[in-house]
Each structure stands twice: as structure tokens, then as C-alpha cells.
Amino acid sequence: MTLTRVPTPGHPVDDVNIRRWIRRRRIAADGRVDVSTIYTVTLASLMAVALVGQPVVAVVWPQEPPAAGPSATVLVGAVAVLAAFFVVLRQVGPLAISRSDATWLLPAPVSRRMLLTPALALTTVAALALGGVTGLAVAGHLVARPAGTAVVVAGAATGGAAAILVALVALYCQRRPSTARVADGAGVAVGAGCLVVAAGLQMYGELRLPVGGTPPAAVQLALGCFALVSAIGAVVAALRRLDGWPASPIAEASVTAGAYSDVVYAVEPSFLTEMSARRFWRRRTGIRTTNLIARRRIPPLVAQDLLIARRKVGKLWWLAGGAALPTLLADGPGWLLAGVLLIGALAAAGLTSESTHSDAANPAMLRLLGVPGRWVTAQRLVVPAAVAAVWGALALGGLQVAGVLDGPWWALGIAAGPAVAVGAVQRARASAASIGTILIDTPLGAFPAGMLLWLANGVDVLAILTLPVSVGLITARAPDVLGWPWVLAQAASSALGCLILLILAKRSTAAASAL
């Protein structure tokens, strides 16, 4: 008879030994930090400070505050920066680990606190840096000169505390998906609303803050330090509760962060847009059907684009706020104003670009529908043209109300809508696989041209078809009055662009049928 020994239970391994074991395995596989990497990062940081350090310091802390007194626009800009920081944190996690750790260590009996502490520390440091700079900028535009050290430290501490609070809200939303949708919408609405408010202040006059009534510098320093210590205490409390986190939000954030790193490594930004689209539709739950497609008066592909626009109501807030961005840059040069206006209109027309991209990637579905390519292209132009026309009318109308432009500029924005839609459709049809393999020889080595070609795709068509808008913004600014011939020229250019796109779509369909 064979005797079988009963295995003795092993002793539990503490977190310190597990962390040491993982560190040794990583060093054995990847090696320690290379000296050349440290040198490259240090040199790049010093060059960045030398190139843009002085302009950034001049913007954050000018030599003299505004002569007319402190303005409320600075506070509105600070709130917009914090709202944008919240949106960025929600896009990347904020708690995320590497995909290898999410695969092997997240399901293992390893302390979640040990895994997530580096991510929480990185988020806290980023919040402190961004909030400190924002607080310094607010203090630099509000405080009279000379400013004491206490006021400077109080501004940086208050900004850091506010940014940490925003990071904690993003952290709570990552764990509570039911709250995340409301918070995400609120963040987008606050950011877009700040842009609109800033544009309104520039159009109708700055809102000056009262000079007197501010507490002494010692009180400001005490309040700022108290807020910062309280925020750091909240971070420590969140650190202690990391062991109770579920695995699903961490794994999803890890996949997203890994995809971002792949985009940077492969220099292929087109993958980023496709990934963000998939992530958006994956998060959409509880979608209710509608009889919009069943209506015979609306073409089916137009109805599909309308459904996509209806389910992207949150992005319409950013578009509405972005329409005020040209007004904020009204004092800048004409070429900058034209570039911001055209790129913003192209982004607005790309609201429903996913359907056009899917048509180009999977033409078999359109062949099953039996719809000619010319009709497909015509239907795909309707919704982008309408959105771009409304956005252009709002942006140019805001400039007209601000007194920068004079004449029927709103009509010029409406006439440019179809031209912008042609550029958006051309951009949506781009295939990342066909443009990412081209290499450009440089003295530093071969550089993949996929990123440059992808970024320029559609923009070249937009620049040609919207020449009347660009030339008008540079040469026909107030007090010159824009004439209706400019609107007619833009309408003719838009019609010509749509006609050429339809002809090319018909030829491509005929060539595909011949194959």
C-alpha cells in the first residue's frame, strides 16, 4: 500500500516579500534604469525649460497686474482648467496599472493597495503640479505688486488643494459608474460654460473684482495650508480604502492606458480615435430604440447619423463652448483666428464620422443594401454639413457681436458648412493601415509619416474649399464690411467640393463593381 503525505499548509507571505519578489523579477527581465534614458529625459527637460520657460513664467506671473484692476476672467479660466483636468483624468482612469500587472497580479491574492499606490501617487503629484501652477497664475493676475512670499505660497497651496479635490472626485467616479455619467456630463458642461462666459466677458466688458476686502496675507496662507493638508489627508484616506476596490474599473483603465502608450510608441494617432469611439459605445447602456429610422421621409443613412448625434449630446456641450473660442482669440492675428475657426468647424463636422469610417472599412454592408456610392456619400454629407454650418454661424456671429467683424459673416459660416463636411468625410475615410507604412528618411533616421499624413488628411481639402473664409478673416476685418459676393463665392466653393466628392464616389463604386 502506498502512503500519501498530506501537504502542510504554507505560511502566508507578507506584502513586503511579494513586492521584493516582483521587483527582482522585473529587474531580471527588463534591467535597471539605463543611464542614457536618464540623460535623455534630463536633457529634454532642460531644453523645454530653456525654450518655453520664460514665456510660461510671463503668462503665469506677469510683471504687473492689469492696470484696470483684477478681472473675473482669470477665475473663469482657472475653473475651465480644472474641468479639463477632470475630463482628462476620467479618460485615463485615473487609477491604472500596466496591462501585465492587470493580467497577472490583479486577479492574484496580492494587496490592491500595493498595486494601486504608484498610480495614486502619480495622480496626486500631477494634481499638485497643475493646481499649483493654476493657483500661481490666479494670484499673479489678482495680487498687487510687490507680492509677499505668503501670498504666493497661499495661491499655490489653494490651487493644489482644488486640483487634488478634482482628482478625488474622478477617483470616486471611477469606482461608481452610476455617478460617473452625471459627473462626466457636469465636467463637460462646466468647461464649455466657462468658455462661453469668458467669451461673453470679452464681448460685453470685463467684470472687475473689488480691490479691497481681501484677508491679510497670514490668513490667506493659513487657509491655503489648511486646505492643502485636508486634501492630502483625503488622499491618505482613499489610499487606505484601495484594498476594497473591484477589479473591473482597474482593468478597464489599464487597457485604456495601455492603448494610449501603444499610440505613442507606434506614432499612430488614428488608433486612438477608433479606440475612444469603441470605448464610448461600450459605456452606453440603456439605449432606447426610436422610430426615426422607420420614417420613410428621412433617408436611412441620414437617420443613422441623426441617431449618432442624438446619443452624443454630451459632446455637443463642448462644441457649443468651442464656438466661443474664436471670440476669445479675437485680438490675435488673422491666420490664428482662421486656423482655430476651420479646425473647430472640422471637429464639429466629425461628430458623426464613425459611420463614414465604418462604411469605408466595411464596404460589403453597403453592397448588401444595394445603395449606390453616390447616394451613400450624399446622405453622409447631410448631418456633418448641418452641424458645421450651425457651428460656423455661431462662431462668426460671436465675432460679429464682439465688433471684430462687420457684415453677413453668419451667412458665410452657413455657406462654409458643406465645404467643411467634405473635409470631414474625406478625413473619416482615411485608413490607418495604408498610410502608416510610409517612411521618411531624415538625418536622425527613418520617421513614420503615418501621423503627419493622418493629421493632414482632410485639412488640405478644407483649406482649399474654405479660401473665401480664410481670406476674409485676414483682409476684411472691422471696420471693413464683408460683402455678399464673399458669401456667394463660398457657396460656389462648397457646391464644387460636394460635386467633386460625389463624382469620385461614383467612380470608386464603378471600379469596385468591375473588380
Q: What are phi and psi of 440, to 5 degrees?
A: -115, 125
Between 26 and 510, residue with greater pLDDT: 26
Query: Looking at this protein, which amino acid is placed at residue 390?
Result: V
Residue 435's pLDDT band, with cuts at 50, 70 and 90, is: very low
The residues, any chain, with a CB within 8 Å of residue 454's CB and separated by 6 or more, are 268, 269, 270, 430, 432, 435, 436
Q: What is the C-alpha separation between 126 and 117, in angstroms, rounded?
A: 14
- Whether residue 94 is preceded by a cis peptide bond, meaning omega within 30 degrees of 0, is yes
Decide: 282 and 124 in contact? Cβ < 8 Å.
no
Q: What is the C-alpha separation between 480 and 137, in angstroms, rounded?
A: 37
| pLDDT(477) > 50 | yes
Q: Which of 6-10, 86-90, 99-103 has the lowest mean pLDDT?
A: 6-10
DSSP 3-state of 146: coil
Burial class for 200, CB neighbours closer than 10 Å (0-12, 13-18, 19+): middle
pLDDT at 420: 92
Distance of CA 165 to the CA centre of its chain: 21
pLDDT at 433: 46
Q: From the CB of residue 188, how many other CB atoms can be counted at a distance below 10 Å?
A: 22
The tens digit of pLDDT for each residue in 283-311 reads: 666 666 666 666 677 888 888 888 888 88
Q: From the CB of residue 236, how many other CB atoms can be counted at a distance below 10 Å?
A: 10
Question: β-pairing, 445-448 with 439-442?
Answer: antiparallel
Give me the DSSP letters along 43-81. Answer: HHHHHHHHHHHHHHHHHHS-SS--TT--BTHHHHHHHHH
Structural domain spans, the chain: 15-31+57-266, 295-514
Residue 256's pLDDT band, with cuts at 50, 70 and 90, is: confident
The packing angle between helices 247-266 and 269-283, to 10°, is 160
Q: Which of 83-97, 126-140, 171-185, 273-287 has the lowest mean pLDDT?
A: 273-287
User: Is 0.85 topped by the overall pTM?
Assistant: no
Mean pLDDT, rounded, for 421-438: 71
